[in-house]
Amino acid sequence: MAYSRTDLATRALLKANLIGAEETPSAADLEYANEGIASDTAALAVEGIVIWNGDDLAVPLEQLEPLARYHATTFQADFGLMSALNAAQARELEKRVLRKLSATPQTGVVANSEYY
């Protein structure tokens, strides 16, 4: 099963405690989250961590939660809910998981060097 980039953005905002479980993010919140995800995806690629193929419908289930946690720490630091130091440390822990996942071939998902 694959999820959209909007699903990932919504889940990351939820994990960051910026929206409630039954809330729909505003257009501005989704735009903010999607821009952050795009930037972080490019930065992770520079580090050799291939996330997914960049297709809006290609965030695989096994990457959804680790990615949401990774992005949530960035959003929490941006909104003063977590210190920048704690956020950086949390992202490093999530990178370990993402690095392992990026080294594992994904069923139905073709990893490539094109990111949105």
Residue-wise pLDDT for 43-100, tens only, equals 888 888 877 655 555 788 888 999 999 999 999 999 999 999 999 999 999 999 999 8
Q: What is the pTM of this model?
A: 0.81
Question: Could you tell me if residue 107 is inside a domain?
Answer: no
The lowest-confidence range among 14-18, 20-24, 46-50, 86-90 is 46-50
How many distinct structural domains can be found in the chain?
Answer: 1
Q: Which pLDDT score is estimated for 54?
A: 53
**111 within a domain of the structure (yes/no):** no
Residue 44 belongs to what domain range?
2-102
Residue 64 lies in a domain: yes
Q: Is 112 within the bounds of a domain?
A: no
- Is residue 98 included in any domain, yes or no? yes
Q: Are 8 and 68 in contact (CB under 8 A)?
A: yes
